[in-house]
């Protein structure tokens, strides 16, 4: 089942995403107008160090109006492979590089209105190796033990969907490696 | 830490969300332009029936261009309480009503560019009680056992961030109730 696109126009072209408006024909023959955010793919990382800590970041998010505890994440640049993006972003956001990287899963974030599709990686064998961060990001790194991180997530104390979802994807590997 | 909003203009007002452009001053004194989706709050539900099955839905998502397996979810209407929205949406999307409802957690979906904030509920004591669905939604209900649902989520077979995150939030309650 799909919707047939009858027409599409670009309402706005932004730095991070574009806004399209599409006229579609639905399976019942009726037409509808849909507003769609066209967003590049993105990545999120679960950085696990040798001492059993996961590296989170805390950053102010203007769209939310609050500081949020999140896993490191970023947007794939044009021509960049998702895995290369993950290794770059973790250096920019946490100042560490990872010698081991493993794809855990992939998901849409808000499939109702955005094309953004995220790749989630477990990254290990971490060592200090900073890259300059983005000018408009103000980030604090917080190392949280695996046990505390999952307790916080299950208790609803992590208010970011991708971070909670990434922890579930990582659970079979992280629990294995901690036992 | 926050960004100071210097100016804000509405670039687009849509049926589901608006697009704002804000000029902000950051903590380092520099200014930046941010494109922000203003979206109402939303809800997602983990419907658990007496036989140990979770009710998922499969629906075509035009922004993604594919059908996705998701938990039931919806957007809070103006003046509506999130819990009332959850009980309404589950009737519209799955044709069941719930006698028991419990808030599991809350999270932002894409705090980098959208204000959307989602409330996640565990709903139980289900019984047939349909409401007419939205005209532009084409939904198939899929009952999946608790065990299979978590296996699928951990294996990366559920490609929707809110659904995976909601399953982690529900885990302590669902595992308890199944044992």
Is the pLDDT at A32 greater than 90, yes or no?
A: yes
Assembly ipTM: 0.96
pLDDT value of position B115? 98
| Interface probe, candidates B57, B112, B122, B176, chain A, greatest A C-beta count within 10 A | B112
What residues of chain B lie within 8 A of the CB of A105, using their CB? 155-156, 159, 164
What residues of chain A lie within 8 A of the CB of B165, using their CB? 161-162, 164-165, 168
Is the pLDDT at A110 greater than 80, yes or no?
A: yes
The interface residues of chain A toward chain B in range 6-45, judged by CB-CB distance below 8 A, are: 11-12, 14-17, 19, 22, 24, 26-28, 30, 32-37, 39
- pTM to 2 decimals? 0.96
What residues of chain B lie within 8 A of the CB of A39, using their CB? 113
pLDDT value of position A179? 46
Residue B6 and residue B17 in contact, taking contact as beta carbons nearer than 8 Å: no
A19 closest CB neighbour out of B12, B65, B154: B12
Question: Each residue of A15-30: pLDDT tens digit?
Answer: 999 999 999 999 999 9
Q: Would the CB atoms of A68 and B153 count as touching at under 8 Å?
A: no
B11 to chain A, closest Cα gap in Å:
8
As a whole number, the mean pLDDT across chain A is 95
- The whole-angstrom separation of Cα B55 and Cα B170 is 13
pLDDT in tens, chain B (179 residues): 899 999 999 999 999 999 999 999 999 999 999 999 999 999 999 999 999 999 999 999 999 999 999 999 999 999 999 999 999 999 999 999 999 999 999 999 999 999 999 999 999 999 998 888 888 888 999 999 999 999 999 999 999 999 999 999 999 999 755 54
φ/ψ bin of B133: left (φ > 0), alpha (ψ from -120 to 50), beta (otherwise): beta
Q: Nearest residue on chain B to A66, judged by CA atoms?
A: B2
Assigned token pair, A168: 């579930």
Average pLDDT over residues A99-111: 98
B159 closest CB neighbour out of A3, A62, A107: A107
Confidence band for A177, pLDDT divided at 50, 70 and 90: low
Q: Beta-carbon neighbour count of residue B27 at 10 Å? A: 11
Of the listed ranges A76-90, A104-118, A162-176, B152-166, the least confidently predicted one is A162-176
State the count of interchain CB pairs (< 8 A) between A and B.
197
Which residues, other chains included, contact A5 with Cβ-Cβ below 8 Å and sequence gap of 6+? A22, A23, A24
Domains, chain A, in order of start with CATH, read: 4-38 (no CATH), 42-178 (3.90.79.10)
| Interface probe, candidates A17, A152, A158, A165, chain B, greatest B C-beta count within 10 A | A165
pLDDT value of position B179? 46
Q: Beta-carbon neighbour count of residue A15 at 10 Å? A: 8
């Amino acid at each position: 089942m799909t919707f047939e696109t009858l027409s599409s126009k670009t309402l706005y072209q932004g730095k991070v995403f574009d806004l399209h408006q599409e006229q579609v024909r639905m399976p019942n023959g009726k037409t509808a107008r849909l507003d769609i955010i066209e967003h590049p793919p993105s990545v999120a990382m679960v950085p696990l160090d040798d001492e059993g800590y996961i590296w989170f970041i805390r950053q102010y998010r203007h769209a939310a109006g609050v500081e949020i505890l999140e896993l490191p994440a970023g947007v794939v640049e044009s021509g960049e492979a998702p895995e290369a993006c993950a290794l770059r972003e973790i250096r920019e956001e946490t100042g560490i590089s990872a010698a081991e990287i493993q794809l855990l899963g992939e998901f849409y974030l808000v499939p109702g209105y955005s094309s953004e599709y995220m790749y989630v990686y477990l990254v290990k064998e971490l060592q200090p190796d900073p890259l300059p961060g983005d000018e408009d990001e103000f980030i604090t790194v917080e190392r949280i033990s695996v046990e505390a991180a999952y307790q916080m997530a299950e208790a609803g104390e992590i208010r970011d969907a991708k971070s909670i979802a990434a922890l579930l994807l990582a659970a079979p590997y992280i629990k294995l490696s901690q036992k």
